[in-house]
Chains A and B, each alone.
Chain A
Amino acid sequence: MSYAETIDQAVTNCKQQTILMQRCLVQDKLMDALKHASVMLTELRSPLLSPKQYYELYISIYDSLSILSTYFVESHTKRHHLADLYELVQYAGNILPRLYLMITVGSAYLQSADAPREEIFKDMIEMCKGVQNPIRGLFLRYYLSQRTKQFFQADDSEAKKANVNFIITNFIEMNKLWVRLQHQGPLREREQRTRERKELKVLIGANLVRLSQIVEMDFELYRTEILPLILDQVVQCRDVVSQEYLLDVVCQVFPDEFHLGTLSDLLTTILKLNPAVPINKVVLTLVERLNGFVERNTDVEDLTRGLAFMSVEEGDKNLFFIFWKFLSQMSEERPDLSLQELAPVIRGILKLTLRWYPDNISNVDVLFKFMHEKCKDYGKAASEELDSLFHDLLLASEIKSDTAFFMKLLTECDAYEGLLSAQNLRLQKDCANEILDTLTYAEWRITSKAELEKILQVCGSLFKSTTEKASSSLMLDEESELDSGNWTFAPDQEKLAQLTHLCYNKSIDSHSELLLTCRNWFQQSGKNIIYHSPAILANYWKLIRRCQLRSKKKPETREKLHVTMKQLFKHASRIINDLYNACGAGCFDLLYKLNVQTASLADQCELSDIAYDFFSQAFTIFEESLSDSRIQFQAIVNMAQTLQKTRNLHTESYYETLITRCTLHGSKLLKKQDQCRAVYTCSHLWWATEISPLGEEEGVTESFFREGKRVLECLQRSLRVADSVMDNVQSCELMVEILDRCCYYYIHGDETSTHVGVKYINGLIELIRTNLDSSALEINPILGDGSKNTSDFTYIGIDGSYIYRNPASSVATVYNKATPSKAVHLESIPVEHFNRTLQYIRDQKDVDDRFKAINV
């Protein structure tokens, strides 16, 4: 008898023989049927098939043999006795067909009640030894296990034991064959062998699955009869693929409770594995199972039931303790274990302890300490490939998920910080970043100084790099000084800044202390405080506000709070100074604004001295350091806005001093249009308006600081400047803007007090008109026509920028300079603006009789 060359041919043959066999069975020609079956089975002897093809063939033959089996059972004792058949099939000359037939008959025989079960089982498994070829043997034994699986429902424990033994024996033999498959064929096909083996692994695993089905909840049986044998085999086979797969299967198929009970055994086995087996995978699987156990059994009763399993063996019920023992044993026995492998194991155990003992910091601490030791032993810094491993370890999602625990860990677990600092800088930074993110996201409140310091220490890596860089060389220093003008986006620093917002303490003093701590730490990072200082300052502002509110609520504490507030302002000042000293040139604008803002706050707190101080500080910066004309203009506007809202500076004529100075600076700006605009803006400084949150009301409050004469002076002055602007368009535009201001004052104040009267307004309108007429000659009529067609509208903004608005889109574009392509339309801008203003005045006539006096 021979076999086919290809799989297709083999399957075809097999189908043919099946049909012939069925025909014979219909006619009850058993001998012929067996002959066909045997021819068909000969195909399985083929050594030419790959495992996949063999499996295909096996499936088809399995089906055919099922037909035969059914026939055997049906006609048992009617036409033949299966005991006789069992002997009959022994005469097949070739072992493989013989054994397949034997198993088919044997399993059929087992279905009859009077069959000698034990003997048949024993005989079948014993005879299977005859097939030593790995693939053929594996499939034969798989066939055996498939055929016999229905007979394993045993009631009494003896039978159960026998069944277990049967399966284990089969399993052990299969595993041996499986391992042997690796060593077949030439060496260069090793890879392929391994791949093929992995394809076949299910055949072996099926045995363990079957075991788990029959063992049910009989833990004693599992512990004494099953597991030791399996583990023994796993250890003995010394094969990487096999050990890895089998332990995985063991972990997966048996109940969690069993694992709890036999944890030590499992872990001991892990230590005995082939060094090439990734320990971490196995440990992780195990941990996953145990964690799953907690998850699945939320019921306390179930849990205690599960733990009862443990107590069978472990005197100490502490799961972590067992793992810890395992770890220390491992570090003793396997010093060769690389960090790469160790880290995931630790991570696994970490997961476990977090799940089982969620609040036990000391467990975590021990683990991190262990890892830290290992890192130290390793000597040099871990390579970058390990980064992600350590990252996972340090920032396991289980740790992060509970922020309270995470915080506790950060603050109480020294080893954590130790381990972190043992990593390379990049990783440290990444981790610090993530830690900050986590805290920020959870909006965790840092209340104690110790806590804060710990966190800052953990995040220490974020300060470090810059100090290193700064001290590296003088050249670089200068260079970075130049660069520092640019705000580069620095997420790290931003996160540190965010940290300051997390600080909170009910006590103002403590809170201030927290902020000071931050400040002190941030000092380390040199110039980078440019990123943190605004945040700290903002927090001081908040704190000062809190003082203010509190003092309003409880007037009796006012005195004390007053002192505190002063102190806080001092801190604020210090911070600004620090910033100035650390990176002066880069951030004058910022410093100016911070000063103005702080001053405003001080004013609101009725601390006029302090406010004046900050204002003067701001002016100093303006005078000394703000050189860009644009920024200067903005600074003036900013200052004017702030000053106009101050209320408490009038003591010792601080206010007059400041506004005069402001206006003076405004009038000294470089560009005339800037001068003009600054001055008419400053005119408001003499015309305070109501701030309703302070309880002021127009017409009711009498104490407004208003000096109409000075207002008019300012307006006149700006008009003069506008008139002197050479560019007609600009000049007209400025005049129209001044006209707008005049209207404002005309509406908001009596003519007598503001000195901005009908006469003045009429005169201004007349002036603008004349100017426009004279410039109208310049308007190119053709282009003028064209300008009407254009769909763009152009305006000039309050700060002199050009705004183009396309009606089609809602977003306007702003340019500092008029774009050449659109410059031709510039002439129309003041005209249109003027027209709009006139229209407004006309409209006002309906509301306000006073406007009727204005000639439009």
Chain B
Amino acid sequence: MALFFKAPIDIEILLDGEESRKHVEIANSSDSPTARTLKDRYPIYEDGESVSGRVTLRVKEGKKLEHLGVKVSLVGSVDLLKSNGESKKRPAETFLSLSADLCPHGELMHSQNFPFHFKDVEKRYESYRGKNVDVSYYVKVTVFRKSTDIVKHKRFWCLLYNRDALLPAVSSTPADAKSVKLNIGIENCLHIEFEYSKSQFSLKDVIVGRIYFLLTRLKVKHMELSVITRETCGLEPNQLSDSTSIRYEIMDGSPVKGETIPIRLFLGGYDLTPSSQSNYFSIKNYLSLVIIDDDGRRYFKQSEIMLYRKRN
């Protein structure tokens, strides 16, 4: 903010049709307690979509600015949060960097508009803001000066829909649509069959399945299904970071042998992250079955499910 007052120039970046675009609301990542409940709104772009807009440079009235040139660039980067509580971000990889010169060096006497257009930009990753990883896209305008450059970012959000490159499995061959069947058991105590329709779900999908009790000597209090999102990045000890996205009770009371408990979990209403993988981090989703017995002991089984975004 302090920069603004000092800055002799005001940079505004307007994306084309920004107001009419869809927006996502993402919880603010900054650590200040007041900001935590706030939400950031970002316009949504997709892979291969052109990003265009205009940059307005406003010079303070009656002043002029000498510069060495103005450049606009489109950047996509993966940032990792440093370990040990340091909140500083460490850029890990800049996987996208396109730039264009807006004007040669000279003097700005009055406010000026510069349109820009990045055509059919390939966006490899989906935007993501996790505990330790931040995948972000932004338009960056730089006014080069002899002294400090003046920089302005404009962040936008990128969603990837069902890309074949990442998820070859979604190509819906019949073999892949096969249901997943897991046999889980504690010897002489509990033996169940956990079955659900498939291993890959779109974010609006419904997980349908059943749990078949082959043997039960436990006094089960209830049973829950949860979806856990696991973010992996960097090095130990902060490598793993789990967050539970869904907790869903599917059974109340203790079943007897031979009982089948249906599972149906609508994913659409929850805020989930698609699974993804890159050199620096990975996001995985697990379906976790938790059985809690009368004494409060928890028995669980996790199995990975692939979540992907799919156009409605």
Q: Which residues of A contact B (CB under 8 A)?
A: 45, 87-88, 90-91, 93-96, 98, 126-127, 129-134, 136-137, 176, 180
Contacts and interface: CB of A to CB of B under 8 A. Distances in A.
5 contacts: A90-B264, A90-B266, A95-B252, A132-B254, A176-B256
B250 interface: yes
Contact of A95 (B250, B259, B260): B250
Contacts of B270: 91
Contacts of A130: 250-252, 261-262
Residue of A98, A127, A132, A133 most packed against chain B (CB within 10 A): A132
A800 B256 CA distance: 95
B262 A126 contact: yes
B104 interface: no
A278 B222 CA distance: 37
Nearest to A184: B254
A132 B262 contact: no
Contact of A131 (B248, B252, B264, B269): B252
A463 to B, nearest CB: 64
Contacts of A96: 252
Residue of A45, A87, A90, A137 most packed against chain B (CB within 10 A): A90
Interface size class of chain B, counting residues whose CB lies under 8 Å from the partner chain: 20 to 34
B120 to A, nearest CB: 37
Given A93-B247, A93-B248, A131 B266 contact: no
Contacts of A87: 266, 268
A91 B268 CA distance: 10
A166 to B, nearest CB: 16
A480 to B, nearest CB: 71
B255 interface: yes
A88 B248 CA distance: 14
Interface string B110-149: 0000000000000000000000000000000000000000
Contacts of B266: 87, 90-91
Contacts of A90: 264-266
A95 B249 contact: yes
Contact of A93 (B249, B251, B261): B249
A136 B253 contact: yes
Contacts of B269: 88, 91
Interface in B198-248: 220, 222, 247-248
A102 B260 CA distance: 20
Contacts of B220: 132
Nearest to A177: B253
B248 A127 contact: no
Contacts of B250: 95, 130
A133 B264 contact: no
Interface of B: 220, 222, 247-256, 259-262, 264-266, 268-270
Contact of A133 (B248, B254, B268): B254
A137 B253 contact: yes
Ordered nearest first, which 8 A-B pairs have the shortest CB separation? A133-B253, A132-B253, A132-B255, A95-B249, A91-B269, A131-B252, A94-B249, A90-B266
Nearest to A133: B253
Contacts of A131: 251-253
Given A91-B269, A93-B248, A127 B253 contact: no
A93 B225 CA distance: 10
Nearest to B222: A95
B249 A134 contact: no
Contacts of B222: 95
A137 B266 CA distance: 23
A129 B262 contact: yes
Given A91-B266, A127-B262, A130-B261, A180 B249 contact: no
Nearest to A135: B253
A843 B157 CA distance: 146
Nearest to B251: A130
A386 B291 CA distance: 54
A555 to B, nearest CB: 97
Nearest to A94: B249
A136 B269 CA distance: 27
Contacts of A126: 262
Given A129-B261, A130-B250, 4 more contacts: A94-B252, A95-B250, A127-B264, A132-B251
Nearest to B219: A184
B252 A133 contact: yes
Nearest to B266: A90
B217 to A, nearest CB: 13
A130 B250 CA distance: 6
B282 to A, nearest CB: 28
Given A87-B266, A90-B266, A91-B266, A132 B261 contact: yes
Contacts of B253: 131-134, 136-137
Contact of A129 (B248, B249, B259, B268): B259
Contacts of A132: 220, 251-256, 259, 261
Nearest to A137: B253
Nearest to B254: A132
Residue of A94, A136, A176 most packed against chain B (CB within 10 A): A94
Nearest to B248: A93
Nearest to B210: A129
Residue of A87, A96, A129, A176 most packed against chain B (CB within 10 A): A129
Contacts of B252: 45, 94-96, 130-133, 136-137
Nearest to B250: A130
A793 to B, nearest CB: 92
Contacts of B264: 90, 127
Contacts of A127: 262, 264
Contacts of B247: 93
Residue of B250, B251, B252, B265 most packed against chain A (CB within 10 A): B252
A93 B220 CA distance: 18
Contacts of B254: 132-133
A42 to B, nearest CB: 11
